[in-house]
Structure 1
Amino acid sequence: MIDSDKYLEFFSQEYLTSYIPRGGTTTKFVLPPSGEEANFVDAICSQAQSSGHLVARIDSATSKVQMIEQIFFGIARQIDWQKLANSFTRIAAHSAGYPVPNDDQDLSLAMLAFSYGADEREVKRDINIVLQQRIFKDYSMVGEFRIAMMRLCQYELKSGQVTELERDSIIAWLEGSLRQISLLKSALIFRKISRSNARAMLFSLSRWIVANGYEGFLLTLDIRQFQKLRKEPDIESPGIIYSRNAVMDAYESLRQLIDNADEFSNFATIVVISPEFLSDDSRGLSAYQALKLRIYDEVRDKNRDNPYSSLISLSSSTAEELSQDLLDGNLATLKEVSH
């Protein structure tokens, strides 16, 4: 086992402040000390945010995560799409020659034209050219995602190019709550996000986050709920109960995240697991060999832990210190008795 505090420090130095900002991608399966899971997630998210990363948390007890599109929807509901669009539109306006002095100043096309004594049509054309170059021609993002981000940015200009209904429909589409895809025909988006295109949407999101000035993206995914077989009668909110087939589907989605690492950039996933994930032959790691072969170290050093491993078990710093104190106390007692 690796000391929890030491691993947090290691992950910050080796991944959050170096590897991920340089375009790296990693997926770690972490077993925190018992009872300290929430504290571990809070700590690693806090480190990521202080290092300039955008953070999203998903708990399988409250969000269905057996399909990759459901993971994307869970992330999308935590993203402030308007804030990102507003930020990027300001970047585009600056590149087009119309810098906005501060974040509080109005970004509307009319205000920009008035501030710079320019014709609205010229300002609109110049900014649209930059948006097309930096979004629509950025082929590291899939076409539907590029169109959606273009429309959200154009809405921020309040130029009439995109209506409020269209903006709201795009955000609902990203979050998986859009009922009628026909509402997006005007935006040239014709299909919902599903299992077939969710991975592409996810790596497009990581690219979009970096384009907005973030160092990268950290996702924490708590899958401890997978090992619960039934609802406990004495618990008011037991959370979602997953069938074995649903658990296998979730493992397949995680396997795909690992295998598609080359398509992602600036992306880190921390999967929080329970001890049963390692010991349960029916619903744990051993039940899905395709995932086990990718994260399990068959050859390990007996005396040294490997913090770079994909599968990490952590120990409590407090527990280790207490054990050492007890050991020191026992040795002192023995010494007194011997004297």
Structure 2
Amino acid sequence: MHTTKEEWFDLIREEYLHNFISNGGAAVKFCVSIDDAGLDGMLPLLRKTSEDEGYVLALVDAASTKIHMVDKLFHEVARQIDWDGLSRAFVKEFFTQNGYQLSEHDEYFNLQNIAKINNRTEIFFRRELRSWLEEVIFRDFEMSQEFRIAMIRLCLDQLDTTGPSVFLSNAVKEWLQGELRLIATLKNALIFQKIARHNARHMLFSLAHWLRVNGKSGLVLVLDITRYLVSIRSKNANGAFFYSLPAVLDVYEMLRQFIDGTDEMGGLLIVVLAPKEFLNDDKRGLRSYDALKLRIWDEVRDRQRQNPLASLVRLANSSAE
């Protein structure tokens, strides 16, 4: 008897999303479809479950993103995040907690108007805001230094809607999304290196923490690795990537690192979607990389009923098989 998708989502909601992940936990789950229907219908269920529990969901498909390159993975996740919305909510929370009055109209949400409404001198008000951001963000060592600097810049720029700071804010978002051509553009923002393999994983962990700081429950990251199991290059791939065997091993190694790094994560649930070839293909499947297999394979298990909370779960459209 296999677990259905609906049953698995109910358990994930109750055992992981409802409390564990939102309280700073982390987990990596592998979902393998064992019937011909594949993983159709998984994404709507994931999205609804995540939104109901207050999470931000990001979907990364290997057909269009090279998941085995963790910097490309982070850039794709960053493109799905509302950075301005998070920064604005963070700054508004500061003013609210400190008893400042705000205009009901968003177009008047800038430092000059807020200082005027609260009868404050702008220059001292700006200095106070910078000190608070330094205390709350820059000293939050759950996030990497470059991520903290970037978030401070985005928060400050929510209050300066005109001038050169807007250009710098856009450059920061381009940097996060992997679209910045010259890193020298961010020299004034005190950011001196691009996001690459050496720091992208920590940037992802920082993002999950930043979401929780802003009142979200955390980040649900869905990785569809189906394309890595395709062994024959198709002429009609519609632009989808074809991956070599070394790339397959690279993505398995990256997933292994995520599993081993769960103690470093907080508020992050990674759901890996894979076809049945993941279990059966000796060349491209799980058996090709023992370091990952030894961490998720359920060697001792009930033949009649599987553990739906295991790291590796076989999902079917119906419970009978």
With normalisation by structure 2, the TM-score equals 0.94
Cα distance, 1:8–1:123 mapped onto 2, change above 3 Å: same
Deviation, structure 1 residue 137 = 0.7
**Structure-1 residue corresponding to 2:78:** 76
Identity of aligned residues (%): 37
Cα distance, 1:53–1:22 mapped onto 2, change above 3 Å: same
Deviation, structure 1 residue 41 = 1.7
Do structure 1's residue 218 and structure 2's residue 250 form an aligned pair?
no
Do the aligned residues in 2 keep the contact of 1:90 with 1:99 (CA within 8 Å)? no
Letter in 2 for 1:92: F
Deviation track 1:83-132 (CA, whole Å, cap 9, x = no partner) reads 11111111122234325365746320011012112111222122222211
Do structure 1's residue 241 and structure 2's residue 203 form an aligned pair?
no
Paired residue secondary structure (1:300): coil
Deviation, structure 1 residue 236 = 5.5
Do the aligned residues in 2 keep the contact of 1:140 with 1:207 (CA within 8 Å)? yes
**Structure-1 residue corresponding to 2:232:** 230
Letter in 2 for 1:51: E
Deviation, structure 1 residue 159 = 7.5
Alignment of 1:6-21 (within 5 A): 6-21=7-22
Letter in 1 for 2:151: M
The structure whose RCO (Cα within 8 Å, separation 6+) is larger is 2
**Structure-2 residue corresponding to 1:138:** 140
1:281 & 1:102 partners in 2: Cα distance?
61
2:281 & 2:108 partners in 1: Cα distance?
57
Count of residue pairs the alignment pairs up: 319
Alignment of 1:97-246 (within 5 A): 97-100=99-102, 104=106, 106-158=108-160, 163-233=165-235, 235=236, 237=238, 239-246=240-247
2:264 & 2:144 partners in 1: Cα distance?
11
| Structure 1 runs of 4+ with >6 Å offset | 159-162
Deviation, structure 1 residue 155 = 0.4
1:132 & 1:238 partners in 2: Cα distance?
45
Cα distance, 1:162–1:81 mapped onto 2, change above 3 Å: farther
Cα distance, 1:98–1:36 mapped onto 2, change above 3 Å: farther
Cα distance, 1:98–1:105 mapped onto 2, change above 3 Å: farther
Paired residue secondary structure (2:60): strand
Cα distance, 1:212–1:34 mapped onto 2, change above 3 Å: farther
Do the aligned residues in 2 keep the contact of 1:169 with 1:178 (CA within 8 Å)? yes
Do the aligned residues in 2 keep the contact of 1:87 with 1:212 (CA within 8 Å)? yes
Letter in 1 for 2:10: E
**Structure-2 residue corresponding to 1:265:** 266
**Structure 2 residue runs without a partner (length 5+):** none
1:143 & 1:298 partners in 2: Cα distance?
41
Alignment of 1:56-95 (within 5 A): 56-95=58-97
Greater mean deviation of Cα atoms: 181-190 or 128-137:
128-137
**Structure-1 residue corresponding to 2:301:** 300
2:143 & 2:114 partners in 1: Cα distance?
29
Which protein shows a greater Rg? 1
Paired residue secondary structure (1:268): strand
Do the aligned residues in 2 keep the contact of 1:69 with 1:198 (CA within 8 Å)? yes
Cα distance, 1:148–1:224 mapped onto 2, change above 3 Å: same
2:139 & 2:179 partners in 1: Cα distance?
28
2:289 & 2:123 partners in 1: Cα distance?
58
**Structure-2 residue corresponding to 1:47:** 49
Cα distance, 1:65–1:207 mapped onto 2, change above 3 Å: same
Deviation track 1:131-173 (CA, whole Å, cap 9, x = no partner) reads 1111011011111000000000000111879612211111111
Paired residue secondary structure (1:221): strand
Deviation, structure 1 residue 187 = 0.8
Paired residue secondary structure (2:115): helix
Q: Say which structure is richer in helix.
A: 1
**Structure 1 residue runs without a partner (length 5+):** 324-339
Paired residue secondary structure (2:263): helix
